[in-house]
Amino acid sequence: MTKQTVLTGITTTGTPHIGNYLGAIKPAIEASLNSNNNSYFFLADYHALIKCHDPDRVARSTREIAATWLALGLDTDKATFYRQTDVPEITELTWILTCMTSKGLMNRSHAYKASVDVNRETGRQDDDDITMGLFSYPILMAADILMFNADIIPVGKDQIQHIEMARDIAGRFNHTYSPLFNLPEAQVDEQTQLIPGLDGRKMSKSYDNTIPLFSSSDELYKLIKQIKTDTLEPGEPKDADSSTIFQLYANFATATEQAQMRTKFENGIGWGDAKKELFEFLDSYLTKPREEYNHLMHDLAYVEQQLHKGADKARSYAAPFLEQIRNAVGIRPLTWQGSSAVQTEEKKEKEQSAEQIARAEEGRRRAILMQLKPMLDRVNNAADKSSEAQQLIAEKESEVETLKKKAKQKAQNELDLLREELAEFLG
């Protein structure tokens, strides 16, 4: 059975909290134990620079996140755990992909559009304080993914667009140069999408409502006591499903433990008692990993060594793959022999599963359609669609005849797809 590659990154701008653990770290570590997965987990420290210009915060967060993953049981022999900045092939690939990405695609990025909207609402110029890092970071994210030909990318709903962009970029590269990239799929776990924070909203450092994963016992209890509740008195039945206390408890508890806590809510447990039970439960659950985390934070040389080990593993794949990519775009040694590259590509294609080939073809087709959209719009907007379609096909056939070799094949692929898309008008 062909293994699938699962890739997860976490930006190094904050202290890991319970929401990070439940939404990303815990499922990622569990996935790494599946023998059918090749797991890649990385510290996205280049991404951190997009919005955070506090070097001490970035450095501190990098230490905390690395120690957190190791303290929670990540086996670095089974997974590839690395720091983004330790794999220079990623940034080189970013530039290559930047040269394949249309500005129009980046204009549609949610993060960029949101920043523009804020500027407009405050009477500023559209692009005030918007850096090229913010504008083009979906390309860096695409490079993170495509560098290792990842199949599955666990993300929140707000990141699905970026996976779609990575697919578009990969498809365009595959069509223009060589079918080297898989088309990644977003994996959204609906069960862990909304981890409530202290105020009931999604737990996020943006809302300042987080519970740091490895707070001391005293700090943990202090934070839990801040959880917002309603005005129901002890003895009055309470709705467990609308309670932040119960939801946090349920994300850590077994089915039996959840049922027991639900009964206590139905019987009218007081909010103070409910918070105390949540504290005792979480404190017990986190005691051992907290101790390991504190130990690792005092042995950062070991943590650094684990990251370097992961970087070596990552580069053992990335370096030769980047060489294929460089050759494909024409950045080659003067002594490069095309025939050997063709043989390598043919061998690679034979090793691909039928599903992978189908996915690559889907991306190739999608990329061609993006480039043909103005032509298709021309037909769809014409008064006589049939006549316009025939005229367009005739023009494309003439173009094909004037071209040679690879350019001719590229144009022929476009012509074939135009005929397919306009079949109803061609008769």
Q: What is the domain partition of the chain in residue ranges?
A: 4-194+299-329, 217-297, 353-426
Give the three-state DSSP class for 41: strand
Task: Give alpha helix (H) positions in 177-210.
Answer: none
Structure-token pair, residue 354? 């039928």
Lowest mean pLDDT among 127-136, 172-181, 357-366: 357-366
On the question of pLDDT at 191 being above 70, the answer is no
Mean pLDDT along residues 341-364: 58
Residue 37: phi and psi, rounded to 5, are -110, 140
Question: What's residue 422's pLDDT?
Answer: 86
420: left (phi over 0), alpha (psi -120 to 50) or beta: alpha
Provide Rg for the chain, Cα atoms. Answer: 26
Reply yes or no on whether the pLDDT at 47 is more than 90.
Answer: yes
277: left (phi over 0), alpha (psi -120 to 50) or beta: alpha
CA distances from 82 to 47, 152, 367 (A): 14, 18, 31
Reported confidence tier of residue 351, pLDDT bands at 50, 70, 90: low
With a CB cutoff of 8 Å and minimum separation 6, the contacts of 224 are: 211, 245, 275, 278, 279, 282
Element (H, E) at 271: helix 271-297
Is the pLDDT reported for residue 205 higher than 70? Answer: yes
Percent of the chain at pLDDT > 70 equals 92
The one-letter amino acid code at 256 reads T
Nearest-angstrom CA–CA distance, 390 and 258:
66
Q: What is the pLDDT of residue 368?
A: 78
Q: Which two tokens stand for residue 260?
A: 């027991």
Q: How far apart are CA 191 and CA 23, in angstroms?
A: 9
Confidence of residue 169 (pLDDT cuts 50, 70, 90): very high
| pLDDT tens-digit map of 268-312 | 999 999 999 999 999 999 999 999 999 999 999 999 999 999 999
Average pLDDT over residues 140-164: 93
Q: What is the CB neighbour count within 10 angstroms for residue 230?
A: 10
HSE-CB at 254 with a 13 A cutoff on CA atoms is 2
Cβ–Cβ under 8 Å, residues 178 and 328: yes
Query: What is the spatial order of strands in the sheet that 152-154 belongs to?
Result: 79-83, 37-44, 4-11, 152-154, 185-187
User: Which segments of 251-353 does DSSP mark as H helices, in order?
Assistant: 255-266, 271-297, 300-329, 338-351
CATH class of 4-194+299-329: alpha beta
Assigned token pair, 391: 């005229």
| Token pair of 294 as six digits | 């504190």
Residue 78, classified by CB atoms within 10 Å of its CB into exposed (0-12), middle (13-18) or buried (19+), is middle
Q: What is the pLDDT of residue 381?
A: 87
Q: Specify the 3-state DSSP secondary structure of 349.
A: helix
User: Domain 217-297 - what CATH class?
Assistant: mainly alpha
Average model confidence (pLDDT) across the chain: 90
Whether residue 193 has pLDDT greater than 90: no
Site of tokens 């105020």: 199
Q: Where is 4: in which H helix or E strand?
A: strand 4-11
What CA–CA distances, in Å, run from 373 to 100, 176, 255?
17, 16, 52
- Which residue in the block uniquely carries the two structure tokens 């049922």? 259
